[in-house]
Structure 1
Amino acid sequence: MDTEVTQSPSHLVKGKGQKAKMDCVPIKRHSYVHWYHKKLEEALEFLVYFQKQDIVEDTAMFKQRFSAECRQNSPCSLEINSTEAADSALYFCASSQSTVLHISSP
């Protein structure tokens, strides 16, 4: 039984102007995927939220800089369309609200 979210790759280094793609495999039977990022010394910041294959909520920053998809029976992906130095951050995916609350706890 899968009881955790799996993200890959664990580390990703890209030069300016390149595409950067990250994958997320949610907990089995969870139909939600949330993507967040956290820059050094800043709060966790929401990017996009899926229910199954549909985007439920996203942000203006997500629309300008990112793309994402969740296909049935495939990992969900988050892609930075053209990397900038400001994209340097930790990126997190979660498959439930309780997981998000756990990540953002001090």
Structure 2
Amino acid sequence: MDVNAMNSIDEIGLLPMGRILVTEAANSRIPPEEMLMAILKHGRGEWGDISDEDRAANSVALNRSLRVVSQCRASNGTRFWIITEHDRSHTTILLPNEY
């Protein structure tokens, strides 16, 4: 994924995401168009495959400057996370084993 293209995404929807970072492992395993769609959904508050408890925690996090997490799965089966930090300075796309 072209990180420069990702960095041009500003505050979309509910969540200011700051700088978009992608780990090398995520970049090599997630199709670029799926990564882009996932980050757009994350910014709109579509958190992906998370529990109801995590969904509620994300809703609270939006108003309390806490970390927001989405869990996604690419069409090739690769699971990945999108994490926006509490201060909204950056959002990272990574594989679960990289956390």
TM over 0.5: no
Structure exhibiting the larger radius of gyration computed from Cα positions? 1
Q: Normalising to structure 2: TM-score of the pair?
A: 0.30
Q: Normalising to structure 1: TM-score of the pair?
A: 0.29
Q: Structure 1 or 2: larger strand share?
A: 1
